[in-house]
Chains A and B, each alone.
Chain A
Amino acid sequence: MKFTREILINTVLAALLLAMPFAALAMDEPFYVTLATRMAILALAAVGLNLALGLGGLVSFGHAAFFGIGGYAAGILSTHALNMQPLLTWPFEIESSEQMLVAWFVAVAVSGPVALAIGAISLRTSGVYFIMITLAFAQMIYYFAISWPAYGGEDGLSIAMRGTFPGVNTAVPLSFFLICYGVLMVALLLFACVRASRFGAALQAARQNETRLAAVGIGPFPVRLVAFVISAMVAALAGSLYADLNRFASPSMLSWQMSGELIVLIILGGTGRLFGPVAGAMLFVLIESVLGGLTERWQLFLGLILLGVVLFARGGLIGLVAGKSRHG
């Protein structure tokens, strides 16, 4: 593989994110460990969305639904485990678990079929209709969550104890960060594989010219549907980690603002670029914490930055530094 400027930047970003919590601890600023973890988790969710949005051109304005499903998976499992209740009593009994791996599995296993149903309907539309219909589905799930008193309703669901991980004390912030960072790296690796694969070729062609794809005999619909489902599952995994980080599964994870935030992250970082979501999440969390500390109206500045990126740097941060992407 040729060592391009993009690879260099990706390496630097990965190293920076990894170094951040260690530096924070060395400077006795443990809060920054949490920030770094937040960056990693948001980046993970955005890597998921980047698959649909960046590669497939599917502007899903409803990925908060999957992020939230992941969060609630972690929250509900933890609540049941704490109260020693089984997770299901019918048609067969399933014990709950405080294992993080179980929560991840549930998050992925639930979000997959939900995404399949939402995608199967939404992907019959395109453009602005697709944006609106994905938003509508996510809002349905949001209102379902806040009207479901068994799991906190509007108050959300606190998680008394962060999920456990074999051989790791997840209550230690640095350990939890490393888990999130590890998952992010695996997700990036998968993203890179998928992008370079036959499936990735078909998915990117569907974005560039769906008539061309159909004319060579590949139906765009199934390709997009599979991408949408994988994308949702990655977002759900991130949601599960996010709830564990905050020890709280909040309905706001399901809200449309969250969906918007994920889109903003990708646009900031670079749509369709491997490390776009990482760059975007790092910048976003940084802006949020630095400017958020100075003024309550930090989102105004975020808006200005976003405007600048959209007007002058379409390729986002990665595009700005590494230039246009090449497809070989």
Chain B
Amino acid sequence: MAEPVLSIRELRKNFGALKATDNVSLDLKPGEIHALIGPNGAGKTTLIHQISGSIRQDSGAIEFLGEDVGGLGMAARARKGLGRSFQISSLAPEFSALRNVMLAQQAAQGSSFRFFRPVMRDRSLTDPAMSMLERVGLAGRARLPAAELSHGERRKLEIAIALALGPKAFLFDEPMAGMGPEGAKDLTGFLDGLRREAPILLVEHDMDAVFALADRISVLVYGRVIATGSVDEIRRDPEVRRAYLGEHT
């Protein structure tokens, strides 16, 4: 079996008395979509934050491509190839969609300490950024400031930015949120193809999407992983049904 790209071991994070992450271990293998589901407040986003480095775990290890990244900052982890999207779109609002993607492109190329060449005339930035926007279907909106994009378009822009980083693994935090059924269906198809480029750790509430996409599912309840398995295993798991799926099936 292939070595996991991302491997989390015994991760713990407490906020006061609240165990937001309680001894979580999971991994992400090459080529797979590993979905992380669970009721609201289960600690899914907190887990994503710890993996991406925006909050620090209390204990436990995060290994990425065989290297312990648990002590690195968010920017350093992104440079190692962890591309994330945010649950609530996080963009540079004044920059156009194109410039938002170009920023990721420039980060992927290395140094940002270049002071003279104008970015808008730098085709090594604009061309790839434009093609990322084309892939997510935003090419026509490239020149619009991110703040003027619709909610769904901002979600797509988040993904275009993550793509531009050329990451070794994607962390997507509810990419379908607020997309509407049509948009969610499109995005499901898109993510399905994306797993060939890099494995995806997917936090998602849309169960149709999760069941259609996931190779494996982990169920998080009160900070603990109560089950990990294939779609069928999870559907059949009595504890999962009781804790979570009951309200859906």
Contact = CB atoms under 8 A, between A and B. Distances in A.
Interface string A88-129: 000000000000000000000000000000000000000000
Interface in B74-112: 74-76, 78-79, 84, 86, 90-96, 98-100, 102-104, 106-108, 111-112
B211 to A, nearest CB: 28
B116 interface: yes
Interface of B: 52, 54, 73-76, 78-79, 84, 86, 90-96, 98-100, 102-104, 106-108, 111-120, 122, 125, 143, 145, 161, 164-165
A211 B114 CA distance: 21
A201 B90 contact: no
3 A-B pairs with the lowest CB-CB distances in the bound complex, closest first = A217-B78, A196-B118, A219-B75
Determine the main DSSP class of A at the interface with B. helix
A208 B114 contact: no
Contacts, number: 116
Interface residues of A, number: 28
A7 interface: no
A212 interface: yes
Contacts of A197: 114-119
Most B C-beta atoms less than 10 A away, residue of A215, A218, A328: A215
Nearest to A193: B116
A219 B73 contact: yes
B115 A193 contact: yes
Interface in A202-216: 202, 204-205, 208-209, 211-216
Nearest to A220: B75
Contact of A201 (B79, B103, B143): B103
B74 A214 contact: yes
A196 B74 contact: no
A194 interface: yes
Contacts of A215: 52, 54, 74-75, 78, 84, 86, 90
Given A202-B112, A215-B52, A328-B99, A209 B90 contact: yes
A201 B99 contact: yes
Contacts of A211: 54, 74, 86, 90
Contacts of A209: 90-93
A216 B54 contact: no
A193 B116 CA distance: 5
A199 B113 contact: yes
A218 B73 CA distance: 10
28 contacts: A193-B116, A196-B118, A196-B119, A197-B114, A197-B119, A198-B111, A198-B112, A198-B115, A198-B122, A200-B115, A204-B92, A205-B95, A209-B91, A211-B74, A212-B103, A213-B103, A214-B74, A215-B54, A215-B75, A216-B108, A217-B76, A217-B108, A218-B106, A219-B76, A222-B113, A226-B113, A327-B96, A328-B99
A214 B103 CA distance: 11
Nearest to B113: A199
Contacts of A199: 112-115
B115 A202 contact: no
B247 to A, nearest CB: 32
Contacts of B119: 196-198, 200-201
Contacts of B113: 198-199, 222, 226
Contacts of B98: 328
Given A205-B103, A211-B90, A216 B114 contact: no
B165 A328 contact: no
Contacts of B112: 198-199, 201-202, 218, 223
B140 to A, nearest CB: 16
